[in-house]
């Protein structure tokens, strides 16, 4: 089976995440997208609890019965591992050796790849699929070579930061699934954070 790992904070997961995953699935030869919430922020960014973010991903994916989009909570079993390289290496070791993996990231993450732990080794370990916003510049040339792919998406027009700010201001962001918004309200998330 061919897997597209979609790692990130997903704080909160929103419809653009879903749309990008579906589009990347259509434009690659993968069978399934594994949404993998980060257990730790590699750059020390404050995030909601792993449990809240995992629950919100599962709620956001409830509408997709075909199981091509699913939550993959593998990082909970590896809380001491730091860095995507180590996590992808561990994931590849538990799946069937015929399984193939690619790693899905946005343009912002691609621009910071040289700050990732063992980034050169990571680029050799797994092909990357980089989804950029229309007109986005500054994507490192490495992603345009070899086994990596760059896809332009018209759907990536909102950020989790913008959504958190709207929630803090008492608004209901249209980019959130209703069940995710209910979860946020029930658990009083993002009220005092940006």
pLDDT value at 194 more than 50: no
Arithmetic mean of pLDDT over the chain: 90
Do residues 84 and 103 make contact, with C-beta atoms less than 8 angstroms apart? yes
SS3 170: coil
* Percent of the chain's residues with pLDDT above 90: 68
| pLDDT band at residue 85 under the 50/70/90 scheme | very high
**Domain residue ranges of the chain, discontinuous segments joined by +:** 2-157
pLDDT at 31 over 80: yes
Residue 24 CA to its chain's centroid (Å): 12
Would you state the structure tokens that stand for residue 69, as one six-digit string?
A: 């989009």
Could you give the angle at which helices 15-27 and 50-61 cross, rounded to 10 degrees? 60
Segment 92-133, tens digit of pLDDT: 988 998 999 999 999 989 999 999 999 999 999 999 999 998
Total length of the chain: 194
Strand partners of residue 71:
35
- What pLDDT score does 79 carry? 58
**Confidence at residue 151, expressed as pLDDT on a 0 to 100 scale:** 93
142-178: pLDDT as tens digits: 999 989 999 998 756 788 999 999 999 999 999 999 9
Report the pLDDT value the prediction gives residue 80, as an integer from 0 to 100: 63
- Which residues in 137-172 are b (16+ Cβ under 10 Å) and which e? eebeebbeeeebbebebebbebebeebbebbeeeee
Question: If one looks up domain 2-157 in CATH, what number appears?
Answer: 3.40.50.620
Q: Is the pLDDT of residue 78 over 70?
A: no
């Amino acid at each position: 089976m061919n897997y597209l790992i979609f790692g990130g904070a997903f704080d909160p997961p929103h419809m653009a995440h879903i749309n990008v995953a579906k589009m990347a699935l259509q434009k690659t030869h993968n069978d399934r997208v594994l949404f993998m919430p980060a257990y730790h922020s590699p750059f020390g960014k404050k995030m909601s609890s792993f449990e809240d973010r995992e629950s919100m991903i599962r709620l956001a994916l409830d509408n997709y019965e075909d199981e091509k989009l699913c939550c993959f909570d593998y990082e909970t079993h590896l809380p001491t591992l730091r860095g995507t390289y180590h996590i992808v290496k561990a994931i590849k070791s538990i799946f069937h050796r015929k399984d193939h993996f690619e790693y899905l990231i946005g343009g912002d993450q691609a621009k910071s790849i040289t700050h990732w732990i063992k980034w050169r080794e990571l680029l050799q370990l797994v092909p990357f699929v980089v989804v950029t916003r229309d007109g986005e510049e500054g994507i490192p040339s490495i992603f345009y070579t070899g086994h990596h792919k760059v896809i332009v998406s018209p759907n990536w027009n909102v950020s989790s930061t913008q959504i958190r700010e709207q929630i803090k201001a008492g608004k209901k962001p249209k980019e959130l699934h209703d069940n995710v918004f209910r979860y946020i309200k029930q658990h009083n998330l993002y009220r005092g954070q940006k």
